Amino acid sequence: MHEKIIQTNNTPFKLIDVDPITLDIIESALRNTREQMDATLFRTAMSPGIREQGDAFPMIANADGKMVVGQFGSFIHGFMEGFEGMLEEGDMIFTNDPYSCGGAISHLNDYLVIKPIFKDGRHMAWAAHFGHLTDVGGRVPGSLPNEAREIFEEGVAFPPVKIFRKGELQEDLIKIAIRNSRMPNWNQADFKGIIAACTVAERRCIEMAERFGDDEFYSALDALLERNCRAMRQLIMDTIPEEKQSFEDYICDDALGSGPYKIKCSMWREGEIVIFDFDGTDPQSPGSINFLLNEEMFKMFCGTFMISAFDPQILFNDGFYDYVDVRIPEGSLLKPIRPGALSCRTHALGRIFDVLSGLLGQGNPDFLCGAGFSDSPHFMYSGYDKNGEWYQLYQIGFGGIPARPVGDGPDGHSLWPAFKNVPNEFLEAYFPLRIETFECIIDSGGAGYHRGGNGIRMGYHFLEDGEISVHDDRWLTYPWGVNGAMPGQRSTKELVRADGSVEFLPSKCDLFQVNSGDTLFFNTWGGGGVGDPLTRETDRVLQDVQYGLVSPEAARDSYGVVIDGDAVDEVATAALRKDKTVEHTDDGKIFNFGGSIETLRANCFAETGLPAPVAPDFSKRRRAVR
């Protein structure tokens, strides 16, 4: 057995070996505690975004702030860099200001609560939880203005402050928060639910330390991080080449008429260290599509992707972070300077996963996924009903998930793995609308040996006059396919007025007036495919047609499969595929983007009914406010 003394906040801990059985028990208890944190919040929250969809992320970290269990972790590092002051037993910190915590949370709607966990005067761990609150003030209901040019337009920003001081709740802070919300009851319930979840984690961690011993508990956290570190270090050595590889993708527009905006990343390995360099990414936008990407959070994205793609048995935590170096240029789209607007950062956040997929797959094409983690569609609907009561809906939509090397992409699934949809019955019960349709968009997934997931067509029939706001992307660029596959279909927003007239809305718009009797068809993008569609087994194509995922026409045109009634005409299919193989030209490119940016821009109006965005002008830079 080896021993050494660790100093944490001037408190000695003895780092010891923990036997494997005890380590497994503590690991399982920590995983269970994470689930209890979520359960506490979901049963307390009132907003459908948290209560129904689960837009909240817990974590438990060691005393150094490294996440041991969680999903969307790495909050502590950015917070510790920005926090000034002494932490004491009974304290709990709250912030929603991305610029005050290095992007640990990335827009004002995300309320982050962090609790240092003490036992017998010794700081031994952290609990943290954040959730997306429906409204925190700002210029539009939902606090996510597409057209914001400064963060001051997006709501009330709280720098890191003590919401609890030595165990005493600072009620004035909660009063300020709920006073500046259009949904004060939801805001208060969600906020206090997040606080309660952190308290649950504190109680469970103390119970574990009392059962196994303080040093054993502390050492178990270290051992779980070290186990991840060893596994990820080997994975990095096995999968990341020393030769530099680069990939770029685009945010379609900024809601102000400009776009697309480029996100570029290069990757290479130096010894055991993998380097991600975002040099070449466009400067920050004057609009709200900027994403203050915390370096530790990107390491989490990277680890999640690598573990999912290469070795799902690895426990995901922050143990490997020392082996990843992230470089993001100051003043870029991914590291904007305050007061750059951030409210619509989900377009870039989602696109980061597509960039990672394209980057990590170049050296290992057999592991490539298509594009499709392209966005996180948002829909807002608000106004006063016939009784003069305020209503306000915030909902996250789902798109097509990209095809994977091992199978088709899920149809109409969330970007985030733990998210759920808001039940249509809930929407109709609590809001003045009726869901006319909720269905998979046939043929929207990119054709391939593995098919990209189809997008979702959701029809909102409005029963009251009101205003809607829409957040989406992938309306100009395609979710690309790989290794001979086709890209997925782009998104559209179609408004059918009560008189039958039809108009297409931009993918980003604020406070668009709708009337009782109007119907919005919110159509999300499909995922890109993987592999040559002409090699897909005919029985799989037939099943897709029978399930309504692929039309008979697309089966013939894209997959070369002739459907005759309820069966495949194998003779006609063989002949058609032979002809298509002759026509099929292999240009040797791994990625199918559906055309160059210049081509997409030139054909924009004819294809989408919307004007093409103009190239961004980066010559006028906004003032910096520290």
What does pTM read for this prediction? 0.93
Using alpha carbons, select from 130, 55, 112 the residue that is nearest to residue 398: 55
pLDDT band at 415 (very low <50, low <70, confident <90, very high): low
Burial of residue 51 (number of CB atoms within 10 Å: 0-12, 13-18, 19+): buried
498-529 residue pLDDT tens: 999 999 999 999 999 999 999 999 999 999 99
- pLDDT recorded at residue 314: 72
300-319 residue pLDDT tens: 888 877 777 667 677 778 88
Residue 546 has pLDDT above 60, yes or no: yes
pLDDT band at 586 (very low <50, low <70, confident <90, very high): low
- Average pLDDT, stretch 344-356? 92
Helices (H) and strands (E) in the chain, counts: 14, 26
- pLDDT recorded at residue 584: 64
184-199 residue pLDDT tens: 999 999 999 999 999 9
Reduced to 3 states (helix: H, G, I; strand: E, B; else coil), residue 60 is strand
Least confident of 143-147, 257-261, 419-423, 560-564: 419-423
Least confident of 57-71, 536-550, 563-577: 57-71
Q: How far is CA 389 from CA 53, 386, 431, in A?
A: 24, 7, 11
Residue 372 has pLDDT above 90, yes or no: no
Q: How far is CA 12 from CA 76, 120, 410, 432, in A?
A: 21, 12, 49, 59
154-193 residue pLDDT tens: 999 999 999 999 999 999 999 999 999 999 999 999 999 9
Q: Higher pLDDT residue, 498 or 364?
A: 498
pLDDT band at 625 (very low <50, low <70, confident <90, very high): low
- pLDDT recorded at residue 151: 97
Q: Which residues, in sequence order, are CB contacts of 76 under 8 Å at separation 6+?
A: 61, 65, 66, 67, 104, 114, 126, 128
pLDDT band at 2 (very low <50, low <70, confident <90, very high): very low
Phi, psi of 199 (to 5 degrees): -65, -40
Q: Where are the alpha helices (DSSP H) in 240-398?
A: 295-310, 346-362
Please state whether beta strands 466-471 and 508-514 pair in parallel, antiparallel, or not at all (unpaired).
antiparallel
Q: Share the mean pLDDT of the chain.
A: 91
> Could you please report the per-residue DSSP string of 214-254?
HHHHHHHHHHHHHHHHHHHHHHHHHH--SS-EEEEEEE---
- pLDDT recorded at residue 5: 39
pLDDT band at 11 (very low <50, low <70, confident <90, very high): low
Q: Higher pLDDT residue, 508 or 14?
A: 508
β-partners of residue 390 are 384
pLDDT band at 587 (very low <50, low <70, confident <90, very high): low
pLDDT band at 1 (very low <50, low <70, confident <90, very high): very low
Q: Higher pLDDT residue, 380 or 11?
A: 380
Least confident of 508-522, 561-575, 584-598: 584-598
Phi, psi of 271 (to 5 degrees): 65, -120
DSSP letter at 153 equals G
Q: Higher pLDDT residue, 365 or 522?
A: 522
Using alpha carbons, select from 86, 81, 73, 67 the residue that is nearest to residue 9: 86
Residue 585 has pLDDT above 60, yes or no: no
Q: Are 128 and 59 in contact (CB under 8 A)?
A: yes
- Average pLDDT, stretch 349-355? 91
Q: Higher pLDDT residue, 332 or 375?
A: 332
- Average pLDDT, stretch 243-268? 96
**Dihedral class, residue 85 (left if φ above 0, else alpha if ψ from -120 to 50, else beta):** left
Q: What percent of the chain has pLDDT over 70?
A: 94
- pLDDT recorded at residue 10: 55
Give the C-alpha separation, 611 to 624, whole Å.
Answer: 32
Name the residue ranges covered by the structural domains of the chain. Answer: 4-232, 240-293+328-532+584-608
Give the C-alpha separation, 383 to 358, whole Å.
Answer: 42
Using alpha carbons, select from 307, 275, 304 the residue that is nearest to residue 416: 304
Residue 591 has pLDDT above 50, yes or no: yes
To 10 degrees, what angle do helices 184-212 and 20-42 make?
A: 160
pLDDT band at 417 (very low <50, low <70, confident <90, very high): low
24-46 residue pLDDT tens: 999 999 999 999 999 999 999 99
Q: What percent of the chain has pLDDT over 90?
A: 76
